[in-house]
Structures are given as structure tokens and as C-alpha cells.
Amino acid sequence: MEHTPSDPDYAAAVVDLLGVLAYGELTAFIRMAADSDLAPSLRLKSDMAGLAATEFRQYSQLVERMRSMHIDPDRAMEPFVVPFTAYHERTRPRTWLEGLVKAFVGEGIAKDFYREMAAFVDAETREVMDLALEDVGEADFVVSVVRDAIKTDPTASGRLALWGRRLLGEALSQAQAVAVTRDALAMFLIGGGADLAAVGEMFTRLTERHTERMARLGLSA
């Protein structure tokens, strides 16, 4: 089944999709900026703050494009305040390293999910989503910092592996909460392009990429 922008269910799903993406970036910005305060050096504080600032730039571009598509960004984001607040409360980092892994792994999972979604939308919407999902490699510093930390403190490896699993679990749990309450989004996912088996395959891919990302950090998933 092909989606057309004139179908009202499809239009509602697009609003949801851009809304969840935008609010995800706004809250990622806030959390990363706050977590940068845990950094043990000015260089790392600055790097983490830069990561946060990138989220805000992408959020801004997204909001601007939503307005030009006659979508009210605040109304589009509103339904996602509760699940994102819950996710961030349940994954509040207690240490700088946890914050760092969350910035890398949590955002990685979210962006993989949005990239999967981008495959189902029309060209204009996909272009808007791509703009907000562009990876400029700014998170690469996380890899060497986490690898170094594991080398000097071997117990960190086990703790951070557990933390990564928790991040994946909380992200999937909130994604499910969203799917249950947002009919248009759920129907869009199930009804168009993807059947239930395809959704299952998508979750398998998300988990595989999560495992690869954890391996890049030197952590088991």
C-alpha cells in the first residue's frame, strides 16, 4: 500500500513522526547539555556540549520545515512529552561515563528507528527527516573516551554493558507505549509497507545495530 500525503491517516502519521523526532531532539539537547556538566575536563565538557548543540540545530531545522508544511510543532510534539520524560527519568546518568554512553547509545537507537521510519514516507517528508538525522560524526569522541575508561577501570565494562541494556530496554518500552496510544503512527507502521513480520524484522535490525554500537565502545550488548 502506498502512502499519499493527501490521505488524512497518513498526514496524521507524518505529523506524529515529525513531532516525535523533534521532541526527541529537543529533550536530547537538554539532557546532553545538563550531562556535559559531569565531564571531568573542559575539553570533554566542550565536546559533549557540542553534541547537544548539534541536536538543537537539527531540532530547529525540523521545526522550521514543519511550519512550512503547516504543521504546528508544539501540537505535534505534545503527545510525546510523557514518554520522553519517562525515558529520561528512568535513564538519568549517575556518572559522567553513563551520560556519555547514553548520549551515544540512546541517541543511536532513536536515530536508527527514525531511519527505519523514513523508508515509509513520501520524498518531501523523507528529506525533512534526513536533515534532522544527519550524522556529522561529532559523537565519535565518545568511542575513545569509553574505551580508555574501560582499560583503566575493568569493572566499568560490566557496569556500562548493563547500562547499555537498560537504555535499549527503556527505549523500546517507551516506543511501545507510544505505539499503543498513537493509532495513526501504529497503523502507518503496520498497515503501510510493513506487515507484522516486517515490524519484527525491524526490531531485530535495531537490536543488531545496538549490538554493533556497543561493540564499538568495547562493550558487550
Contact between 143 and a second copy (CB under 8 A)? Answer: no
Q: Which is nearer to a second copy, 52 or 97 (CB)?
A: 52
Q: Residues 91, 34: contact at Cβ < 8 Å? A: no
Return the residue of 30, 69, 86, 187 that touches a second copy, per CB under 8 A. 30
CB of 52 to a second copy, least distance (A): 7
Out of 7, 11, 45, 141, the only residue in the binding site for a second copy (CB under 8 A) is 45
Helices (H) and strands (E) in the chain, counts: 11, 0
Q: Which amino acid is it at 87?
A: Y
For a second copy, the binding residue among 5, 46, 119, 181 (CB under 8 A) is 46
Q: Is 28 in the site for a second copy (CB under 8 A)?
A: no
What is the DSSP secondary structure assignment for residue 38, as one 8-state letter?
G
Please say whether the beta carbons of 143 and 81 come within 8 A.
no
Choosing from 14, 17, 63, 105, the residue that interacts with a second copy (CB under 8 A) is: 63
| Per CB under 8 A, 60 contacts a second copy | yes
Cα 95 from chain centre:
21
In angstroms, the CA 44 to CA 205 distance is 31
Q: How far is the CB of 1 from a second copy (least distance, A)?
A: 33
Task: By CB under 8 A, name the one of 14, 17, 18, 26 that touches a second copy.
Answer: 26
Dist CA 61 CA 133 (whole Å): 11
x/- letters, 69..108, toward a second copy (CB under 8 A): ----xx--xx--x---------------------------
The smaller minimum CB distance to a second copy, of residues 54 and 174, is found at 54
Q: Specify the DSSP element, H or E, that contains 78.
A: none
Binding positions for a second copy, 164-203, rule CB under 8 A? none
How is residue 178 written as a grid cell? 507510544
* 2 three-state secondary structure: coil
CB of 76 to a second copy, least distance (A): 10
> Residue 105 has which C-alpha cell?
547509545
The set of cell numbers assigned to 52 is 547537544
Give the residue among 200, 27, 206, 204 at the shortest CA–CA distance from 115: 206
Can you give the binding site for a second copy, defined by CB under 8 A? 23, 26, 29-30, 33-34, 36-37, 41-43, 45-46, 49-50, 52-53, 56-57, 59-60, 63, 73-74, 77-78, 81
